[in-house]
Structure 1
Amino acid sequence: MKLNALIVEDEKHNQEILKGLLTEFCEGIDIVGITANVEDAVRLIRERRPDVVFLDIELQTGSGFDVLEQVKGIAPEVIFTTAFEHYAIKAIKMSSLDYLLKPIDLEELQEAVEKAKRAKNKPGYGEQLESLLQNLRIPQSDHVKLCLNTAEGMEFVNSRDLRYLKADGSYTQFHPISGVPILVSKHLKEYERLLPPSDFMRVHNSYLINLREVKRYVKADGGYILMKNEAHIPVSRSKKEEFLMRMQGLPPQ
């Protein structure tokens, strides 16, 4: 499968490196443009409608997110590039979007290109980009919107609508306040990093809970957490004191 690619990269040196890697080592890539600023990036996306955009987060006249805000509705596949662990990497992960750290690793680049080929014209991609922009607009301590890749497709959930998450081997079960559980092929630890620490706590090796959905703590049977839906959640001995302190200090909704 062929992909038309646009490179939006801040530095000339990095432009040439990425162009060389794509041309020599990534089959089926046709580079339709290269630019370093927001204005030209927006114009080229609108005019040439690339299938994939390699988008530097920091640009000469703004950011890669400024580009996305101006091309809503076009929604090309986006692979972000950055030279450091940018604050926005967390938001990118929440939306299940791809990013590459510089210096770019060839194997990771090839993997991202193949993923872009498989995802070409997939439904729901515009909503993924919108969830990213939404997460960037709100305070990091506030609620977030997650894009969950499942066997059936993509599910978009707000952190406020989650009751708890449960580890299931290398998978994670999401238990929403309403609706059926959602199974995702990522470790629970991944979501522990993404969900707002103000509301979520890892109370057990297998459970990450929304503290606002706790009904009470029960001392019987060694102690457990009773959620608002009557689910019983175990709490590790090492987490018990922290959990009780967190519940006492939780501000009202």
Structure 2
Amino acid sequence: MSIKTILIDDEPKAIAILKNKIERLCPDLEIVATIEKPALAFDIINELQPQLVFIDIAMPGMSGFDVLEQFKKPQFEIIFATAFDQYALDAIKQCAIGYLVKPIDNEDLVEAVTNATTNIEQKNALVKNTQLLENINQENFQKKKIVIPSTDGLEFVKVKSITHCEGVDGYTKIHFTNRKPILSSSSIGHFKKLLSHPDFYHVHKSYVANTNHIIKYLNDGYVTLTGDVTIPVARAKRAEFLEKFRSA
């Protein structure tokens, strides 16, 4: 399988390094263009119709997100690259889009390309890219959406509808206010990172709770959530938990 690929970065050295790594480690990728001026990216991508685009986030004049926003229906798979931008990384992770942190590690590159190849075969780039742009422009965390891999594909759910996440034998059951739970093959640790925000609290090794849905703390070490659901608070977490909500 030959995957038409474009590299976008304002630094020629960064492009040269990435190009060399791809040629050595990712033989299925065919680099059809490299772009150092992000303002040219829209026309070149439309002309060459790549399946995969590597793009730097922080570029002068036009960020990687600015480039993406020019497309009404961006159907190419994306792997973002960044030196460090936690806000950007959080938004990218929430939508299951690939990313690499500079300097780019060889194993991380191969893993990102492997995931991108799978996504290209499943043809789900459009919905992920559309959701990313919506999240980037949405400052309120509760109004954002996250992607949850399920048996049927990818499900985008509103953060505010999640009451809590429950770790079950290496899987995670996500509970909602308005629908039946979803069972994800990802561990509770994955959702701890994905929902890393003050609105979510890791009350127990097996539970992450949306604090907006906590109704009551019970003296025996449990909290009641929306829907009259009760989950435990770990003994070691109780003092910290109570302090958090007393000062809220």
The TM-score, its normalising length taken from structure 2, stands at 0.90
Partner residue, 1:240: 238
Aligned residues: 248
Q: C-alpha offsets along residues 145-167 of structure 1, whole Å, 9 cap, x if unaligned? A: 10112232101011101011011
Residue type of the partner of 2:16? E
Partner residue, 1:3: 3
* Residue 196 (structure 1) shift: 5.8
Whole-angstrom distance in 1 between the partners of 2:59 and 2:151: 36
Partner residue, 1:132: 132
CA distance change for structure 1 residues 159 and 133 in 2, over 3 Å: closer, same or farther?
A: same
The TM-score, its normalising length taken from structure 1, stands at 0.89
> After superposition, where does 1:223-238 map in structure 2 within 5 Å?
223-238=221-236
CA distance change for structure 1 residues 227 and 4 in 2, over 3 Å: closer, same or farther?
A: same
Q: C-alpha offsets along residues 47-79 of structure 1, whole Å, 9 cap, x if unaligned? A: 111000011111232110001100131320001
Whole-angstrom distance in 2 between the partners of 1:140 and 1:189: 23
* Residue 29 (structure 1) shift: 1.6
Say which is worse superposed, 240-249 or 64-73, in terms of deviation: 240-249
SS in 1 for 2:180: coil
Partner residue, 2:39: 39
Whole-angstrom distance in 1 between the partners of 2:108 and 2:75: 22
Partner residue, 2:62: 62
In 2, are the aligned partners of 1:57 and 1:65 still within 8 Å (CA)? yes
In 2, are the aligned partners of 1:4 and 1:29 still within 8 Å (CA)? yes
Partner residue, 2:27: 27
Whole-angstrom distance in 2 between the partners of 1:24 and 1:241: 53
SS in 1 for 2:128: helix
* Residue 223 (structure 1) shift: 3.1
In 2, are the aligned partners of 1:214 and 1:226 still within 8 Å (CA)? yes
Say which is worse superposed, 48-57 or 14-23, in terms of deviation: 14-23
* Residue 172 (structure 1) shift: 1.8
Q: C-alpha offsets along residues 131-182 of structure 1, whole Å, 9 cap, x if unaligned? A: 2222222226554310112232101011101011011243221111122211
SS in 1 for 2:99: strand
Structure 2 segments unaligned to the other structure (5+ residues): none
Whole-angstrom distance in 2 between the partners of 1:142 and 1:63: 25
Please, what is the CA RMSD of the aligned residues?
2.1
CA distance change for structure 1 residues 247 and 154 in 2, over 3 Å: closer, same or farther?
A: same
